[in-house]
Structure 1
Amino acid sequence: MDLRIYQEDGHGNAVDEHANEPVELEVDVDGYPLADTVDFDSYMEFKPPEKPEASIKANKMVSTAASGPVSYYKKHGDDVKVHFFYLVYEEGLTAGKAGRQLGIARRTAYDWLKKDQDLIVESRDGLETKKTEKKVGRPALLNEEHKKHLEETFIDHPSATLDQAIESLTNQFSDLKVTKTTVYNFMTEKCALSFKKAHFHSKERNSPVSIEKRFDWVTRWIQTDMHYNSNCVFIDESAFHINLKRTMAWSKKGTRAEVIQPLTQAKTTTILGVISPYGIVNKRKTVGGSKMQKSIRTVTGHYFNFTASTIDVMDRHEEFKGHYIIIDNAPIHTSDNIRKFIESRGCVYLPPYSPELNPIEQFWSVVKSKLKREKLLEAETLSTRITEACQNALISDLKGFCRYSESKFETCLNKNPL
């Protein structure tokens, strides 16, 4: 039990021995209940085994002849592929850099990306990518003028489809007749264009004000003993729903990829989470209570209860003594009661519009990527699937998320966009 004595400070304010004002909220498990999903104890008990540095199972020996040279290749599981495409599509890394980070051969990484992009284009535009032999002596249909026009078109309209690209070409060059395959090959080979998942950022994310705030934040905190991979925990919430699905789907060539969604309403489930380089600290699900507001957003009461339970977990484990609590500056996180409650524990608020600096943002993306691979039919399975995905997180992955966010400090110090 935490007993605090408050006294008048001479100015009409009640303060404790550390000059902290009393918190007006109190833990109310009936009014703002939270369902257990994963905490540090359960995570450590059931966490998956770490992948060895050089896995014997992951490597196979291939011989071209009895006395010929021997080469090695590595098999990669679905989790590695999920992480690879997250780094490429969500974080904007090249296939080579993402491959190096995950121990994937350069050629394999680029093969994965090319196959994935071919499938994306086929799925979206019904394009057949059958390879045909190039006819010797046949003049090229598209030239430098067409290249310049296409490059300008996709700079102005990066989400344009192949049909729109062809329409733009034929409007500009009235005598031109080309197929989708011809345009696609020309775009990828001659224009060096590739089809990627689009990134939608708010205008303020890389405004001069936001860049300056990130510079000030990093400049301040690198002078302290705060280190992401040794003495920090990271808090954030994320919304899940039963109709969470992949943005692409398989279909027969020439037919549109369609997914029939369940008739159940896409009820949102909000998961509050805390991760650290030592493991998952706390995960809770908000559920309806006597004071539940009609809103899909986490109310302050839920967040207060979650913060209190997180601090309880940290107090029970020596690993988290003296740890900083890293949190973004969303309004719900900066309310007076939340601020009073956690600032004395070493709370660090991130600068605005800076998700790259919070490792748990990457964690949520990977969890959602895993869920999108599963067919969710019943509402009651969603929570168990989320718990399962969280429980299967490797400590090495959590450390990797921390390293990635900390690596962005240099970007902030150089005042470059995130």
Structure 2
Amino acid sequence: MLENPQERGLAAKFARDLNIYYRTALRWWRYYEGTEEIACKKSEQNSGPKSSFTTEHNDLTERFEDFTISKSQFNNQLRNTMLITVKKPMFEPEVRNSVGNLQTRSEWFMEWKDFDLDFTKNCIFIDEPGFHINMRNNWDIKKWQFYYYTEDPEVDDDPADNKPIPKGTTTAHFSKFMNELLSVMDLDETFKGSYIVMDNASIRKSKPMLRKVESKGYKVMYLPPHSPELNPIEQFWAIVKGKMKRGRLTSEENLSNKIGDACNDVLIRDLYSFCSHSKCQIIKCYNKTPF
């Protein structure tokens, strides 16, 4: 672009076109006239960050040059020896803020707008997290009503007891948990009339369980699908998992105690903030605004 400035215009014009200083353009042209080479920065000094590789790194590279390992062996080494867990990224599904789901949230808002429900005053939030054995029990905070329960895979009075236990949480597991939770809540009359808030998973919709909850003086509210921002306990479990320390459990330790310690480290004001944040998201349901 600066080959013939005498024929195509002044160097100043090209300097403006290239958004560079006039003297810089002129210096480049004079350099090109004298050497017929493109002007460029010539420095023996590398301005980038210095390499952190040492001779030890090179020695290791040479020693393991032909080394091979399968994915399963590599994963086992990371998980069991080095206590490192590799996670796959979980991206938000497109359906979360789809037109249909925004409409579902709006309908949910219209259904509950006239109730006395308040996320920071009279709600009990329920959700079950998953913990890995390498991550480093029952508990409650009376004021804000966050609960965790380690479910027993054996379900009493279930005709399917002799069959293999399904993986994950089942309706029977959740019903047993609710029975024990209601027994605890019945001990405190201030819980009466509270709303039990949870997602709309099918395992939570057992009609006998719902009848029992309502007979005890409580109400059940299901959140719209794909709406974790409306459930403050999602944020709570995220904080708890972040507090879990990696390390092998000693003979005196167990996973439930570690989880309980992490739960108790969460401050009351943080719990209130979680509830307030979710409460502020409710208006987005009415406005059909994506989370």
Cα 1:311–1:412 change in 2 (3 A) is same
**Structure 2 Cα separation of the partners of residues 362 and 275 of structure 1:** 16
Asked if residue 320 in structure 1 is aligned to residue 204 in structure 2, the reply is no
Counterpart-to-counterpart distance in 2, 1:318 and 1:237 = 25
Counterparts of 1:3-402 in structure 2, within 5 Å, are 200-244=91-135, 278-289=143-154, 291=161, 293-344=164-215, 345-371=218-244, 374-378=245-249, 381-402=254-275
Cα distance between partner residues in 2 of 1:366 and 1:324: 24
Whole-Å separation in 2 of the counterparts to 1:203 and 1:274: 35
Letter in 2 for 1:338: M
Shift in CA distance, 329/243, structure 1 to aligned 2, threshold 3 Å:
same
* Cα offset, 1:273, TM superposition: 8.2
TM-score by length of 2: 0.60
Distance 1:288 1:398, change over 3 A: same
Which structure has greater strand proportion? 1
Residues 186-218 of structure 1: CA deviation (Å, up to 9, x unaligned)? xxxxxxxxxxx9761122211111111111112
Higher helix share: 2
In 2: Cα distance, 1:284 partner to 1:343 partner: 21
Separation in 2, partners of 1:200, 1:281 = 27
**Matched position secondary structure for 1:285:** coil
Distance 1:244 1:200, change over 3 A: farther
2:276 aligned residue (369, 385, 403)? 403
The 8 Å contact of residues 199 and 223 in structure 2, kept in 1 or not, is answered as yes
Q: Which has the larger radius of gyration?
A: 2
Measure, in 1, the Cα distance between the counterparts of 2:112 and 2:269: 24
Could you tell me which residue of structure 2 aligns to residue 93 of structure 1?
none
SS state at 2:203 partner: helix
Larger RCO of the pair (alpha carbons < 8 Å, separation 6+)? 1
Partner of 1:408: helix, strand, or coil? helix
Question: CA deviation digits over 1:214-242, x for unaligned, max 9?
Answer: 11112332321111111111111111112
Shift of 1:282: 3.5
TM-score using structure 1 length: 0.43
8 Å contact from structure 1 (residues 274, 283) kept in 2: yes
What SS is found at the alignment partner of 2:94?
Answer: coil
Does the residue aligned with 2:236 lie in a helix, a strand or coil? helix
Aligned-partner Cα distance in 1 for 2:174–2:164? 13
Partners of 2:172 and 2:144 in 1: CA distance: 26
Q: Which runs of 5+ in 2 are unaligned?
A: 1-17, 20-45, 50-87, 156-160
Query: Residue type of the partner of 1:317?
Result: D
Amino acid at match of 1:304: S
Q: Deviations over 1:48-80 (max 9, x none)?
A: xxxxxxxxxxxxxxxxxxxxxxxxxxxxxxxxx
CA distance in 1: counterparts of 2:146 and 2:110, whole angstroms: 28
What is the CA deviation profile of residues 330-364 of structure 1, one whole-angstrom value per residue up to 9, with x for unaligned ones? Answer: 01111333333335521111111111111111111
Matched-pair contact (CA < 8 Å) for 1:242–1:382: yes
- How many corresponding residue pairs? 200
Q: In 1, are the aligned partners of 2:195 and 2:220 still within 8 Å (CA)?
A: yes
Distance of 1:224 and 1:358 partners within structure 2: 18
Task: Using the aligned pairs only, state the percent identity.
Answer: 38
Distance, in Å, in 2 between the alignment partners of 1:210 and 1:342 is 28
The answer (yes or no) to whether the contact 2:125–2:146 under 8 Å persists in 1 is no
Cα separation, 2, equivalents of 1:309 and 1:407? 31
